[in-house]
A and B are shown apart, each in its own frame.
Chain A
């Protein structure tokens, strides 16, 4: 992947700095960033995070650990994390009112499975809209499960075993053709889209970048491992039923069977994963480290609220 196109002053400066290999550009984020959820800030943060995944062909790989870029990342992350906490406060509070069992709280948070996006894709979307949806989803699914993998070395005991078991399935059960990211690339190809990693970053909406950056924020900070696993649980717990609608929508539109296959696999896989994530991962983790309980709820709420916003953006665009 090559560096994306800038969306404002901050991302333009960052992209220039990365391309020229001179990250000490003094103007970067001087004087605060304002709203952390804008296209410009979110793209800058997404680029900084991407350095820790596959990176960019046109960037010197040693810049992954540039102190100036890490300082910039921190400058963007701190207000972003506070913004997520604000946005999810009522959802988290609602969960805490459901007793103190983390599994029951997660079940309560994810009980509404009536998502408008899934209903639209099921019954009404055009093929063009379905492709828009795949394009937005590609930002995550082409690195599916990678943001949650950061938590593995930070857990121990039953929670670690359960995360490894869940991810073994995400990562293809020993068969590279079954890697979930690969199944998604196949689906993109089947839909006539570009399956290459990062192909659609320039088309990713700000809410899509927000949802992805939240996963990286949780994943890359050991401190936030509870949130990373709460996010995973909420993601898995709200997947099987919508995926069934995505399957039916793809069939209704006569889309390529590779599109159907990706979502079909997730109806079944995520019915397993949701049990592992809620009980075996979050349940055991909170038992071992009770201090992480609140962060699990934060991560779960962030997943639900932010994925909801990304879906709403698509629905707005189609209106």
Chain B
């Protein structure tokens, strides 16, 4: 069995999907353990729970924001 592959997927207007990571270092260098197979990293800068995306990017784009 080969080790799982790490992959990053850019979502237009949304987060960066990171697959196969074990740990994420945020902008302060703090370590966040990854507990799920894929995580969404905030790429818009607006999330209230960085480094993770919390869906806030949609409010920045949506007509009903």
Contacts and interface: CB of A to CB of B under 8 A. Distances in A.
A319 interface: no
Given A111-B58, A111-B64, A113-B64, A169 B40 contact: no
A235 to B, nearest CB: 13
B29 interface: no
B37 A169 contact: yes
Chain A interface extent, by class: 20 to 34
B33 to A, nearest CB: 12
A241 B58 contact: yes
A173 interface: yes
A279 B63 contact: no
Interface string B47-58: 011001111101
B38 A271 contact: no
Given A113-B62, A113-B64, A267-B49, A272 B54 contact: no
A114 interface: yes
B40 A272 contact: yes
Contacts of A268: 40, 49, 52, 54
B58 A275 contact: no
Nearest to A264: B49
Given A111-B64, A113-B58, A240-B55, 6 more contacts: A111-B62, A113-B59, A168-B36, A241-B54, A271-B15, A272-B39
27 contacts: A111-B58, A111-B62, A111-B64, A113-B64, A165-B38, A169-B36, A173-B37, A239-B55, A240-B54, A240-B55, A241-B55, A241-B58, A241-B59, A244-B48, A244-B54, A244-B55, A267-B54, A268-B40, A268-B49, A269-B36, A271-B40, A271-B52, A271-B54, A272-B38, A272-B39, A274-B55, A276-B38
